[in-house]
Structure 1
């Protein structure tokens, strides 16, 4: 069992592994506000062979090196919050518009038959009802009783309901709604490619959640990577250089496509290119992430 270490002991442990700590007071101050275990997610990329039990740092590695990529990661997450929020609002708007115009504004989107659910996952309609049911907004509570329709929230219009859906629930509605055709309908409404659109939305949800929960983006391979269209990828690579299909940059390229084509905002990638903070180690870890092999049992 690993022992509980004081801030002083944590600093001593880092130094014993060969990390250069120029200012011990500053190091302890940083560790007092940033979990040592959390920091290790960035630090292990500077270690010799943690997968073989060798936690020593590569010669010349300093605490400032690790802190630099850590803080650059923090800055990147903060910069992505706003464009991801704008994309979410775009999706809410177009989902409400498409369902209302093509399928009716009330009733259908709260019926099980409207969705094509697969496997034992929670039915989409259950997620929708849960989200609207826990809302405290007056525009939702006004429709809590059936109003004569025969079902709770039966008269709640979709343009009001989407404001209560979590981003994850909205993504499931897009993927499974209207017998599986809603994704293409929403993509066409926005003006982006219809192929694989539901999975692109899922990737945006995934990235938003990592940013919201302060999770590492540097050297992170996106699990729910969406099929970013080839023309979108090619345009982005001309701007930022090569990047992997499961990289954060690939998802940001897809995000920019949605934002620009919908008219919501300008692209995000150009600003990221102009400000490649974090030193020479940071950008490669965003463009071509590699997954470290952790300690073997």
Structure 2
């Protein structure tokens, strides 16, 4: 059982492990605002071999060096949230328009037969209804009768319903709707390539959820990788250099392409290239995500 340490004691622990801390008061203040556990997710990449129980820092590692990586990661999440929000709102609009024009604005999008569900996963209609039921917006409450657990939403127009859906549920609807044809129709409507469209949207949901929960992007290996079309990936690599297939840069390249084609947001990758030198610790942690165990004891 690990003891609970005060913030000053946490600073002392870092110093005892060889971290150079020039301003211990500022370091304690940072840990109070951030959480030692969250900080340690970055710090372990500067330690000798934490996976083997050696938590000592490599020679000469300075707290401000790790803080800079942490701050850059936070800035990236904030920038991504803006771009992701633009694309998400655009997708809501086009899903509503496609469904209304091709399948009717009422009822059909809440029928089980409209979706091709997957195995034992939650049926798409159930996901939609759960999100709609949770909504407290007036445009939804209008269709919900007091005292009834689940209202009759047969008169709820799809352009109103999509505003109540989570991004994850919207992604499911795109992937499974109209026997799989909804994804192609929405892609055409937005001016984005059909190939792998639903999976690209799913990857955006994955990235959005990591940003929403303030999860680390630096040295993060994407679990559901491979949604980015080859031509989009190649274009990004010509601009940014090589990056691993499970790098978050792969999803960022896809996001930039979708946002640019739909004309809803400026690309993010060029900004990152201006802000971060390619030999910086932060950039290297994006292009080649690794587990701390990949950093041996002799790593400089």
TM-score grouping bracket, smaller chain normalisation = over 0.9
Q: RMSD across aligned C-alpha pairs, in angstroms?
A: 1.6
Which residue does the alignment assign to 2:45? 45
Residue 264 (structure 1) shift: 1.3
Deviation at 1:214, TM superposition (A): 0.8
Distance 1:287 1:105 in 2: 44
Note if contact 1:71-1:278 (Cα within 8 Å) is conserved in structure 2.
Answer: no
Tell me if the contact between 1:219 and 1:289 (Cα under 8 Å) persists in the aligned partners: yes
Whether the aligned pair in 2 keeps the contact of 1:69 and 1:278 (CA below 8 Å) is: no
Alignment correspondent of 1:24: 24
Asked if the contact 2:278–2:284 (Cα under 8 Å) also holds between the matched residues in 1, the reply is no
Query: What is the Cα deviation at residue 134 of structure 1?
Result: 1.6
Alignment of 1:79-118 (within 5 A): 79-118=79-118
**3-state DSSP class of the match of 1:181?**
helix
- Matches of 1:192 and 1:3, distance apart in 2: 53
Partner of 1:148: none
Cα deviation, 1:142-184, whole Å, max 9, x if unaligned, reads 2235xxxxx7111111111101100011011011111122112
Please identify, of 179-188 and 102-111, the stretch whose mean Cα deviation from structure 2 is larger.
179-188
Show the counterpart of 1:198.
198
**Paired position in structure 1 for 2:241:** 241
CA displacement, residues 191-239 of structure 1 (integer Å, 9 cap, x when unaligned): 2221211111111011111111111110001122342011111111111
Length, aligned pairs only? 289
Secondary structure of the residue that 1:55 maps to in structure 2?
Answer: strand
SS at match of 1:118: coil
Runs of 4+ displaced beyond 4 Å: none
Tell me by how many angstroms 1:278 deviates: 11
Aligned partner of 2:210 in structure 1 is 210
What pairs with 1:5-24 in structure 2 (closer than 5 Å)? 5-24=5-24
Q: Following superposition of structure 1 onto structure 2, how do residues 178-197 of structure 1 map, counting pairs within 5 Å? A: 178-197=178-197
Residues of 2 paired with 1:36 and 1:249: CA distance?
Answer: 27
The TM-score, its normalising length taken from structure 1, stands at: 0.93
- 1:225 aligned partner: 225
